[in-house]
Amino acid sequence: MTRPVILTVDDDPGVSRAVARDLRREYGEHHRIVRAESGPAALEALREIALRGEQVAVILADQRMPRMTGVEFLEQAMDLFPRARRVLLTAYADTDAAITAINVVDLDHYLLKPWDPPEEKLYPVVDAMLAAWREAPDRPSATIRIVGHRWSARSYELRDLVARNQLSYDFLRADEPEGARLLEAAGVDAERLPVVITEDGRALVQPSDGEVVEAAGLSTTASTDVYDLVVVGGGPAGLGASVYGGSEGLRTVLVEQRATGGQAGTSSRIENYLGFPNGVSGDQLTTRARLQAEKFGTEVLTTRSVTALEPRGRARVVRFDDGSEITAHAVVLATGVSYRMLDCPGLDEHTGQGVFYGAAATEAASCAAQDVYVVGGANSAGQAAMNFSRHASKVVMLVRGPSLTASMSHYLIEQIEQNPRIEVRTCTEVVGASGTDHLEKLTLRDRNTGDEETVEASWLFVFIGAAPRTEWLDGVVARDARGFVLTGPDLPREPDSRGPAGWEPERDPFHLETSVPGVFAVGDVRAESVKRVASAVGEGAMAVSLVHRWLENR
């Protein structure tokens, strides 16, 4: 087992050496002391540590550094080692920065300089940080190697799966020397791709999603059969319910089909979320939320598909696709929505081979110096366009409507208008696609004139509409004509076309309660919900208070 790292960063070489010297003297026997003299250098060191599968226990960062302040550095360091304890080195004049850091980067401690004598001022702080870290250390960064074809849809799905679950991975092409050597060493035929090589050297041939995440140490099986609360769906609404359920003493399990975060988790930048004036990536926000839920005792199951919900007396039973089931006193439905498929010739056969639904963050770097086409006119499409513009030579947004103003936030429209690499083509739709083993051409049509043109394109990212995917609830809870779950005052009182039955109990339904008492719906899956991350988180938190009312009065 490698020694956990204590990292210190300070732009003053003398101070940097002094901190490292004092830390090495006290902790060098059981910890590896790493020092850096700038924020960027420290981030590079953290990336190398992550790639080697090591753990970081404590990070000490000076606040006053050029190019990147201590708070800015710690915010980015959290993405690499979210459980590492964070200490800010400040002068007396920097106390405002320390207060800001407590809110922005969940700072554990701020230490005033000078720290002499270290036995009184430095070591007690580091001792406390190390003790806290040992209670919840970072999960080792297990490097997974995926061997497959560049334009294989299944290879893409596996890359997306491990990336969205915060697992370190390398992708090796089977037709290149390194990938071919790895297949030969594993004794696997190149016709049986993709292959996943785990950290302990096992070769998983054409594995399921569950096999991959289990090999990486994530949980896919419930630890018990009965819970106070089952949350189905791990987007912002489900994470909000999980955090508040766990923090308020409910035995809570979160069940996610693919990876926590949902659509919000794939967003490159959310700039209007409360408390993050410089914006926050969806991945960063939802990773913090998952860690927070786990901190409060919520159990998280990954790659589990829920296929049925059954009221069974006072219990609510959730059934999985393998036939197993768990029972709860209450259920929160937070399954969100999925992007609708673009219906035109040639797209289906190229899904995962140049055609992607959602941001597909794993593909961004592969788009370097190429043209990228983005379909959609809402915030998710705009955020993706901004992200791809950092890599692509040009990003072309294809919008069916006459402008972006109908569905996109004003701040994002301004950013797109000011970006020279983004071109917006309104009243334009995709009507065809073609290619051999991957997308090569798109056919576009002007909706005003009907004129069509064919353009060369290897990358198409689609962000259109929202489908709730609630077929598994058919015959159980009332839904509207589009499949969104009806709740509270929107519930019918008598059976009608919207569901198997209306609201039956004598009491009025709680605001987020479905037609099945004790089952609540939150976030995008709920009919007439506000499609924003902040409102989804708020509904998740509100649902837990309503769960308590249900448990008290049933």
pLDDT of 497 strictly over 80:
no
Tokens coding 355: 């055609």
- The per-residue pLDDT for 96 is 63
Which residues, 6+ apart, have CB-to-CB distance to 237 below 8 Å?
Answer: 334, 336, 522, 523, 524, 525, 536, 537, 539, 540
For residues 204 and 211, is the Cβ–Cβ distance under 8 A?
yes
Which residues, 6+ apart, have CB-to-CB distance to 345 below 8 Å?
Answer: 431, 432, 433
Residues pairing with 5 in the sheet: 32, 56
Location of structure tokens 């959730």: 318
For residues 423 and 444, is the Cβ–Cβ distance under 8 A?
no
User: What average pLDDT does range 456-479 have in this prediction?
Assistant: 92
What is the phi/psi pair of residue 547, to 5°? -60, -45
Tell which wins on pLDDT, 368 or 501.
368
- The per-residue pLDDT for 372 is 96
Tokens coding 308: 């049925």
Tokens coding 285: 């926000």
Tell which wins on pLDDT, 182 or 322.
322
pLDDT band at 320 (very low <50, low <70, confident <90, very high): very high
Return the amino acid letter for 206: Q
Distance CA(300)–CA(152), nearest Å, equals 29
Kind plus residue range of the DSSP H or E element containing 74: helix 70-80
Greatest mean pLDDT range, 88-92, 136-140, 293-297, 489-493: 293-297
Kind plus residue range of the DSSP H or E element containing 213: helix 209-215
What is the phi/psi pair of residue 242, to 5°? -70, -40
pLDDT of 538 strictly over 90:
yes
pLDDT band at 501 (very low <50, low <70, confident <90, very high): low
| Three-state SS sequence of 9-31 | ECCCHHHHHHHHHHHHHHHCCCC
- The per-residue pLDDT for 495 is 59
pLDDT of 263 strictly over 90:
no
pLDDT band at 284 (very low <50, low <70, confident <90, very high): confident
> What length does the chain have?
554
pLDDT of 98 strictly over 60:
no
For residues 108 and 86, is the Cβ–Cβ distance under 8 A?
yes
Pick the CATH number of 5-135 from 1.25.40.10, 3.40.1410.10, 3.40.50.2300, 2.40.70.10: 3.40.50.2300
What is this structure's pTM?
0.77
Instruction: Please list, residue by residue across 383-402, b when 16 or more beta carbons sit within 10 angstroms of its beta carbon and e when fewer do.
Output: bbbbbbbebbeebbbbbeee
Pick the CATH number of 348-462 from 3.40.50.300, 3.50.50.60, 3.40.50.720, 3.30.70.3000: 3.50.50.60
Task: Report, in angstroms and rounded to the nearest whole number, the Rg of the chain calculated over CA atoms.
Answer: 25
pLDDT tens, residue by residue, 26-75 = 999 999 999 999 999 999 898 888 757 688 999 999 888 888 888 888 88
Tell me if 226-338+467-553 shares its fold with 348-462: yes
User: What average pLDDT does range 338-353 have in this prediction?
Assistant: 90
pLDDT tens, residue by residue, 129-174 = 999 898 776 655 557 889 999 889 999 999 999 988 888 788 999 9
SS3 508: coil
Sorted by where each begins, the domain ranges of the chain are: 5-135, 144-215, 226-338+467-553, 348-462
pLDDT band at 196 (very low <50, low <70, confident <90, very high): very high
For residues 318 and 331, is the Cβ–Cβ distance under 8 A?
yes
CA distance between the termini of the chain: 51
- The CATH number that domain 144-215 falls under is 3.40.30.10
Average pLDDT taken over every residue of the chain: 89
Location of structure tokens 């320390």: 98
The DSSP symbol for 350 reads G
For residues 326 and 253, is the Cβ–Cβ distance under 8 A?
yes
pLDDT band at 505 (very low <50, low <70, confident <90, very high): confident
pLDDT band at 496 (very low <50, low <70, confident <90, very high): low
Pick the CATH number of 226-338+467-553 from 3.90.850.10, 1.10.10.10, 3.50.50.60, 3.40.50.300: 3.50.50.60
Residues pairing with 446 in the sheet: 428
In percent, the amount of the chain with pLDDT more than 90 equals 58
Location of structure tokens 């399990």: 253
Using CB atoms within 10 Å of the CB of residue 235, give its burial: 0 to 12 exposed, 13 to 18 middle, 19+ buried: buried
SS3 90: strand
Residue 318's nearest CA partner among 504, 537, 473, 487 is 473
Return the amino acid letter for 203: A
Q: Is the peptide bond before 114 cis (omega within 30 degrees of 0)?
A: yes
For residues 308 and 319, is the Cβ–Cβ distance under 8 A?
yes
Residue 210's nearest CA partner among 173, 163, 259 is 259
SS3 190: coil
SS3 446: strand
User: What average pLDDT does range 547-553 have in this prediction?
Assistant: 92
pLDDT of 546 strictly over 80:
yes
User: What average pLDDT does range 427-440 have in this prediction?
Assistant: 95
What is the phi/psi pair of residue 227, to 5°? -130, 160
- Strand boundaries in 257-408, DSSP class E: 299-302, 306-312, 315-320, 325-333, 355-357, 371-375, 394-398
